[in-house]
């Protein structure tokens, strides 16, 4: 905004209260002139595009907050079990995981110990966050047709609000997990310092997938069916109930290609095994259980995936209203 316009806007309402005027000035400071032209021939660079997307998102941070609040409120308002919702899904994942592992232990003779249950618990929470977010976010654009076709705002706030709403649930789950883990023989260690990084990478990866899938579902309505199927069977291709090492050498490598796998395995090793993730683990039979490269691989997915999907999303968001 030019200083001239700002000045005239303030001068137009001199009788306004001081605080209010200041609040307005603060809000307007980050408002800019909108210049849209089809004529400039030089295509914007990727960096400029991402910066533009980020600036717009920052301007609408209040909307993001309010939409997240809306999703959380709706979920807990008229629900019978209230905050239990946040625990139901991860608890069920843990329960089924224990069931599967118990069956396996009967066959193999290796008993399901407390560490096994702790492993499943630690991995079930991020998994249910991922699944919950993806299934909500995929339909976040098409589910808000009125908003998308009638009102301007950076469209990314819709999938992001879905992600943050689920993150709130995951936070409740995490609090409960922190209370439960000591009973599963998990102790504090320096390795826990890896957890924030792993959680951040998981969050970025989830946001990347949310942006991409919500956008894809807007253009191709059958994406949501495919996502449902993938989420249903994804648990067999992601080490939640099992550790990749149980699969043998070749299959373990394949499972670790899933960008979620290194993150979940990293969480298990850091929390349950108190293992420093910079140190590789190679089992006696030659299976690479852990390598710092796994972490680098997942980080690459998270960062590049987010950049790419934010890019695709931003470049196509201006035709959302035409295609929805």
Span interacting with another protein, options 1-9, 128-136, 236-244, 292-300, rule CB under 8 A: 1-9
Tell which one of 7, 29, 51, 70 touches another protein (CB under 8 A): 70
**DSSP 3-state assignment of 282?**
strand
Tell which one of 7, 55, 58, 74 touches another protein (CB under 8 A): 74
Give dist(CA 313, CA 207) in Å, integer: 12
Span interacting with another protein, options 67-75, 230-238, 242-250, 276-284, rule CB under 8 A: 67-75
At which residue do the structure tokens 């059958």 appear?
222
80 makes contact with another protein (CB under 8 A) = no
At which residue do the structure tokens 């310092």 appear?
193
Give dist(CA 227, CA 216) in Å, integer: 11
Q: Could you write out the DSSP letters of every residue in 178-193?
A: HHHGGGGT----GGGG
78 makes contact with another protein (CB under 8 A) = yes
Q: Where in 162-181 is the site for another protein (CB under 8 A)?
A: none
Tell which one of 18, 146, 250, 284 touches another protein (CB under 8 A): 146
63 makes contact with another protein (CB under 8 A) = yes
Retrieve residue 226's tokens. Answer: 């495919």
Span interacting with another protein, options 62-70, 129-137, 195-203, 242-250, rule CB under 8 A: 62-70
Q: How many residues interact with another protein (rule CB under 8 A)?
A: 56
65 makes contact with another protein (CB under 8 A) = yes
Kindly state the smallest distance separating residue 44's Cβ from another protein, in Å: 12
Q: Where in 118-137 is the site for another protein (CB under 8 A)?
A: none
Tell which one of 18, 37, 196, 285 touches another protein (CB under 8 A): 37
**What is the SS3 string spanning 72-89?**
HHHHHHCCCCCCHHHHHH
At which residue do the structure tokens 């990727």 appear?
46
Q: φ and ψ at 169, to 5 degrees? A: -60, -45
Retrieve residue 298's tokens. Answer: 């997942």
Q: Could you write out the DSSP letters of every residue in 125-152?
A: HHHHHHHHHHHHHHTTTGGGHHHHHH--
State the DSSP code for 278.
Answer: T
The contact set with another protein (CB under 8 A) reads 1-2, 4-5, 8-9, 12-13, 19-20, 23-24, 26-28, 31, 33-39, 43, 59-60, 62-63, 65-67, 69-70, 73-74, 77-78, 146-147, 149-153, 216, 219-223, 226, 318-319, 321-323
């Amino acid at each position: 905004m030019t200083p001239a316009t700002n000045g005239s806007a303030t001068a137009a309402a001199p009788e306004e209260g001081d605080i209010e005027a200041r609040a307005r000035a603060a809000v307007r400071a980050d408002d800019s002139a909108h210049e849209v032209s089809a004529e400039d021939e030089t295509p914007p660079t990727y960096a400029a595009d991402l910066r533009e997307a980020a600036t717009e998102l920052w301007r609408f941070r209040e909307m993001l907050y309010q939409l997240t609040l809306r999703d959380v409120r709706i979920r807990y308002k008229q629900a019978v079990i209230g905050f239990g919702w946040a625990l139901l899904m991860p608890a069920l994942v843990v329960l089924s995981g224990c069931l599967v592992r118990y069956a396996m232990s009967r066959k193999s003779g290796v008993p399901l110990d407390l560490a096994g249950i702790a492993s499943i618990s630690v991995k079930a929470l991020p998994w249910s966050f991922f699944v919950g977010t993806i299934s909500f976010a995929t339909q976040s654009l098409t589910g808000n047709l009125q908003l998308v076709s009638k009102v301007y705002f950076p469209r990314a706030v819709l999938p992001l609000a879905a992600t943050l709403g689920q993150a709130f649930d995951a936070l409740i789950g995490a609090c409960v997990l922190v209370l439960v883990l000591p009973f599963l023989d998990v102790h504090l260690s320096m390795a826990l310092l890896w957890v924030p990084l792993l959680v951040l990478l998981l969050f970025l990866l989830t946001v990347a997938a949310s942006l991409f899938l919500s956008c894809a579902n807007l253009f191709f309505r059958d994406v949501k069916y495919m996502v449902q199927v993938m989420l249903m069977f994804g648990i067999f291709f992601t080490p939640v109930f099992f550790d990749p090492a149980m699969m043998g050498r070749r299959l373990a490598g394949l499972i670790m290609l899933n960008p979620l796998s290194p993150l979940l395995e990293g969480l298990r090793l850091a929390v349950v095994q108190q293992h420093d993730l910079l140190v590789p683990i190679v089992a006696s039979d030659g299976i690479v259980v852990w390598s710092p490269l796994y972490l680098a691989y997942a980080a690459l997915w998270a960062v590049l995936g987010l950049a790419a999907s934010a890019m695709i999303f931003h470049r196509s968001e201006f035709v959302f209203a035409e295609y929805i």
